[in-house]
Amino acid sequence: MTVLPDPIKCSGFYGFIEDVSCPICEPPPKPILIFKRPDGIGFWKCPQCGVMYASPRFTEESLLDIYEKEAFVDSALYDDWSYEKWKRENRGRSYVTQHLKVQLVKRFLTKNDKILDFGCGAGLFCLEASKQGLEVEGIDPSKMLTDLGREKFGLALHNERLENFEPEYRYNGIVSWAVLEHVYNLKELVERCWSLLTVGGFLFIDVPNHEGPSNRFKTFLCRSGLKRDDFKHFGFPWHIYSFSKKSLSCLMNACGFEPIVFEFWSHLLKDGKEGVFPKMGISMSQRFGLSDYIVLVAQKRATNSNYL
């Protein structure tokens, strides 16, 4: 990785940037350029595993700094917050989405299992999971967000980086919702999840799907010059990867996991829509992968060569 000499400003954030290659394949093959912005930020696809990634991107220190800024999460949104109001209004689809995630976890784990929410933010999943009887604690490197979750919701949240986390026990499940697209050392952190799980434990994730219909269409518009928003749908600078079913499978297999469930949750499902036509749309989304996010459940294998 080569750190470029001058910091840049992007979406209100300043930081130093560096050139990178595929975070999954070793050795990384020559990537395919999907789109390059006027400022030199490129979006590349690995021809071997299919992951899409930004290069150059912010350095680790610059990335971590983003999550301490009010520009990333406006804490004022929680000023008049209550669980009942959140559940009733489903702000930004948040409640229904967290409820769906808890229901997914409960298909594999019980109230007697220990669960870690990696990248918990302010802890809304932890809150809903605890309301449904699960034993969950969270971890996140952002002091701003973990302080918010402790003070607002009274949750057990660790303000720590996962690679430095040394609990006294292993977990039966680790959830990591909308996190892997943000992290600096992708494989290392998934391998760390492997080491923190019991044998046969489960990893639950959701990540952006660059093969989703909306993402495909926006990518086409940008590449053809019909849309001039500098590939905004990718989510740079805080998003540095976007995945596909193939690239997730490659990542899991490389880190000692067996993918067992892939699901595609449409906006109709997250909105809690009911009726014949919404149900048809939800069914089609699941069957044909018509969603811009992928939900994955993977199970820890007994051995991982990186930890032998």
If pLDDT is split at 50, 70 and 90, which confidence band does 308 have?
A: very low
If pLDDT is split at 50, 70 and 90, which confidence band does 282 have?
A: confident
Average pLDDT rounded to a whole number, residues 168-193: 96
Average pLDDT rounded to a whole number, residues 71-84: 78
DSSP letter string, 224-267: HTS--SSSGGG-TTT--EEB-HHHHHHHHHHTTEEEEEEE---H
Average pLDDT rounded to a whole number, residues 214-228: 95
Examine the pLDDT at 293 and tell me if it is beyond 60: yes
Q: Per the structure, how many domains does the chain have?
A: 2
Whether 60 and 79 map to the same domain: the answer is: no
Query: Taking a C-beta distance cutoff of 8 angstroms, is the pair 102, 295 a contact?
Result: no
Looking up residue 203, the CATH number of its domain turns out to be 3.40.50.150
Whether 5 and 129 map to the same domain: the answer is: no
Coil, strand or helix: which one is 205?
strand
Which of these ranges, 156-160, 166-170, 171-175, 282-286, has the smallest mean pLDDT? 282-286
If pLDDT is split at 50, 70 and 90, which confidence band does 17 have?
A: very high
Would you state the pLDDT for residue 53?
A: 98
Whether 86 and 218 map to the same domain: the answer is: no
More confident residue, 172 or 286: 172
Dmax (CA) of the chain: 57
Examine the pLDDT at 249 and tell me if it is beyond 50: yes
Residue 206: which of 85, 294, 290, 106 has the closest Cα? 294
Whether 161 and 121 map to the same domain: the answer is: yes
pTM value is 0.93
Rg for the chain, CA atoms, rounded: 19
Whether 189 and 152 map to the same domain: the answer is: yes
Examine the pLDDT at 307 and tell me if it is beyond 50: no
Coil, strand or helix: which one is 126?
helix
Whether 34 and 180 map to the same domain: the answer is: no
Would you state the pLDDT for residue 70?
A: 67
Question: What are 264-278's pLDDT values in tens digits?
Answer: 988 878 877 878 777
* Final residue before a domain boundary, out of 221, 242, 263: 242
Whether 90 and 133 map to the same domain: the answer is: yes
Examine the pLDDT at 71 and tell me if it is beyond 80: no
Q: Give how far Cα 113 sits from Cα of 108, 110, 124, 171, 251, Å.
A: 10, 6, 19, 7, 25
Would you state the pLDDT for residue 92?
A: 66
Which residues constitute the domain of residue 49?
A: 1-66+210-242
Would you state the pLDDT for residue 108?
A: 98
Q: What is the dihedral of CA 166, 175, 250, 244, to 10 degrees?
A: -140
Examine the pLDDT at 5 and tell me if it is beyond 90: no
Whether 91 and 158 map to the same domain: the answer is: yes
Whether 126 and 91 map to the same domain: the answer is: yes
Would you state the pLDDT for residue 111?
A: 93
Examine the pLDDT at 1 and tell me if it is beyond 80: no
Whether 184 and 291 map to the same domain: the answer is: yes
Question: What are 114-137's pLDDT values in tens digits?
Answer: 999 999 999 999 999 999 999 999
Sheet containing 2-3, strands listed edge to edge, beginning at the edge strand earlier in sequence: 2-3, 17-19, 57-58
DSSP for residue 164: G
**Percent of the chain whose predicted confidence (pLDDT) is above 70:** 95
More confident residue, 201 or 74: 201
